[in-house]
Amino acid sequence: MTVPKREKSLAKSVATSLDVATHAVREYHTTALGAVYLGDSLNLLEQYVKPGSVDLIVTSPPFGLLRKKEYGNVDAEKYVEWFKPFGAAFRRVLKSKGSLVIDIGGAWNPGTPTRSLYHYELLIMLCRELGFHLAQEFFWWSPSKLPTPAEWTTVRRIRVKDAVDCVWWLSPTPWPRASNRRILSPYSESMKDLLKNGYRAKLRPSGHDISEKFSVDNGAAIPPNLIAIPNTESNSYYLRYCRDNNLEPHPARFPSELPELFIRMLTDPDDMVLDPFAGSCVTGEVAERLGRKWMCAELTEDYLKGALARFHHDAQSNCQEELFPLSGKAKKPPVTSYYKIFHPGALWKDLPFEPLPQDGGESRPATPKETMISKQL
């Protein structure tokens, strides 16, 4: 793709701020704050991004899945070795107080209802071999995920739905730049009641001393490391653009609020944000909206054709309006929560007794049709 002439000067200034030589990388698109590059991100990182020039890397690399996906995943068994050169490059380009945030899903071992350890092995490799520190682990909960593998969850009924991705927050230092004051959550109703009526200081059975400090109104609550965000965007500007232009949307997009949480918590305006596995460039879209410099790299051009939609003026305005409707213009109040969480025992007493399979589910249960036929014989 040829960069429009009016954007040539922008491209030059962006590349300077990114510490990337413009002639050495195939530049696909530029904005006032960032640039999209087409090609191997490892090659880009190793040759053209200067050491200590990036404040935050936030990305969702191809997962180590057992079945090949169209977006280019790597076998779980080979994943850690495949990722190691990327990890070393991330370590090199990050600033000393910078952060690396990796959204990574789990996988099942082939043929058995047991989980692969690849994403934990990845974490251990990054820390023990490459010198990263685990600042904190987060868990992205998306109940809209399908119950897979169906064989273990819906056929044999011996496992539950896997609805959580691990999100590793790492840094070259134990003390990365961060502030949880930027991502505070609304108080729960019980906390509002406590603030209104007061709390009698006492020692809990756990030994924790709950003092009157807990009744201080700080305006909002510190969020947990469980991130509840649906991964649904049935009618976003991006998808409409893809439909209108006969483009295939990227099949594994993460929701914009996921990178936004970390960009807000871990960077200041004008800091540099990098996504080396950009896909449809969600990270770049959020960074642009929040006033951060950014760079996205993607290996597959077909995904970047649709990603261009994210940098249209209408897309930026639409994204901001969907998340934070303007007063007087909003058709409905802004969403402050996504899910209602039922306590585990909500239905226990009403469920019929189900004997445990003595073989642990190793033998496949008969289908309703097979059961009916056997009764007729």
* Every domain of the chain and the residues it spans: 5-183+224-376, 186-221
Q: If we measure between CA atoms, which residue out of 105, 102, 100 comes closest to residue 64? A: 105
CATH superfamily, domain 5-183+224-376, is Vaccinia Virus protein VP39 (3.40.50.150)
Catalytic residue (one of 55, 61, 236, 280): 61
pLDDT at 71 over 80: no
Q: Greater confidence, 60 or 350?
A: 60
Residue 267 burial (CB count, 10 A): 25
Q: What is the pLDDT of residue 167?
A: 98
Q: What is the pLDDT of residue 347?
A: 83
Average pLDDT, the chain: 81
Q: Tell me, yes or no, if 176 is annotated catalytic.
A: no
Q: Greater confidence, 332 or 19?
A: 332
- Which of the four pLDDT bands, split at 50, 70 and 90, describes residue 360? very high
Catalytic residue (one of 55, 103, 271, 275): 103
d(CA 265, CA 244): 35
Provide DSSP, 197-209. H----EE-TTS-E
Q: Tell me, yes or no, if 61 is annotated catalytic.
A: yes
The residue type of 312 is H
The residue type of 208 is H
Burial of 37 (0-12, 13-18, 19+ CB in 10 A): buried
- Which of the four pLDDT bands, split at 50, 70 and 90, describes residue 144? confident
Catalytic residue (one of 41, 53, 60, 256): 60
Q: Tell me, yes or no, if 60 is annotated catalytic.
A: yes
114, 150 in Cβ contact below 8 A?
Answer: no
pLDDT tens profile 256-289: 999 999 999 999 999 999 999 998 899 999 999 9
Indicate the range of 14-18, 75-79, 157-161, 261-265 predicted with least confidence: 14-18
pLDDT at 68 over 70: no
Q: At what angle do helices 79-93 and 41-48 cross, to 10 degrees?
A: 30
